[in-house]
Structures are given as structure tokens and as C-alpha cells.
Amino acid sequence: MDTIFILLMVLIMIASILLVIIVMAQNPKGGGLSSTFGGASSAQFGVQRTNDFMEKATWTLGAVIIVLILISVVITGKPTVAAPTQQPVKKEAPAKQSTPAATTTTPAQTTPAAPAK
């Protein structure tokens, strides 16, 4: 399964790089590679044929990337976490100490003795 996943990742990377190259070769104003071939009407690829090829290649590579990613998700499946299932630990309340309140005094509670005259 690991080799298939690695193969899919390599194919996704190659398709992504090709998609970047094709998109960068296009000119947003309609030039791009077609402007190179636009001067000669007898060129192997005409202006229209180049634009069609670039557009079809862009859509095809985009679809290939999506399909490859979906296949890789299906192959890998849900992530398996090997965490043990533990019951929640019940915390017991601390035992109360039975000391009477009258025996505990703090220094703030004592009153100073009256000065001798």
C-alpha cells in the first residue's frame, strides 16, 4: 500500500508541475504560445489550435489531479490511531478530617492583653 501511495503522490506532483507550466505559458489576453505561431498561417499549430490545446490540457490536468487525490484518499482510508480505550477514572472525594472548629485558632483570632497600669 505504501508503494501505491508513493506512486500516486509522484503522479500528482508531475501533473501539478505540468499544470503550472501550461498555465504560465498561456497569456491572459489570448497571446501565449499562440502569438508565437500566429505569424505564419501555414504553421503546424494555428492560433486557434494552440488555444484549444492549452485549454484542454489545463482542464485535463486539473481533472487528473483531482482523480488522483481522490484515489489516494480512498486507498489510505481513515487514519488509525492506536490509542487504547480507557474507562474514565472516577475521582473519589477526599476524606474529611474530623477536627472540631473550636480547637483550631489562628493568631488573628486572639485578642491582645490589656496593658498594665
Q: Does residue 106 fall inside a structural domain?
A: no
**For the chain, what percent of residues have pLDDT higher than 90?**
27
The number of domains in the chain is: 1
Q: Is the pLDDT of residue 76 over 70?
A: yes
Q: Does residue 3 fall inside a structural domain?
A: yes
In this structure, are residues 30 and 51 in contact, taking their beta carbons and an 8 Å threshold? yes
For the segment 45-64, the average pLDDT, to the nearest whole number, is: 81
CA 54 to each of CA 22, 44, 67: distance values in angstroms, whole numbers, following the listed order: 7, 15, 20
Q: Which domain holds residue 6?
A: 1-15+45-76
Q: What is the pLDDT of residue 42?
A: 46
Q: Does residue 67 fall inside a structural domain?
A: yes
Nearest C-alpha neighbor of 11 from the set 55, 66, 84, 50? 66
Q: Hey, what amino acid is at 84?
A: P
Nearest C-alpha neighbor of 17 from the set 77, 57, 50, 67? 57
Whether the model clears a pTM of 0.75, i.e. scores above it, the answer is no
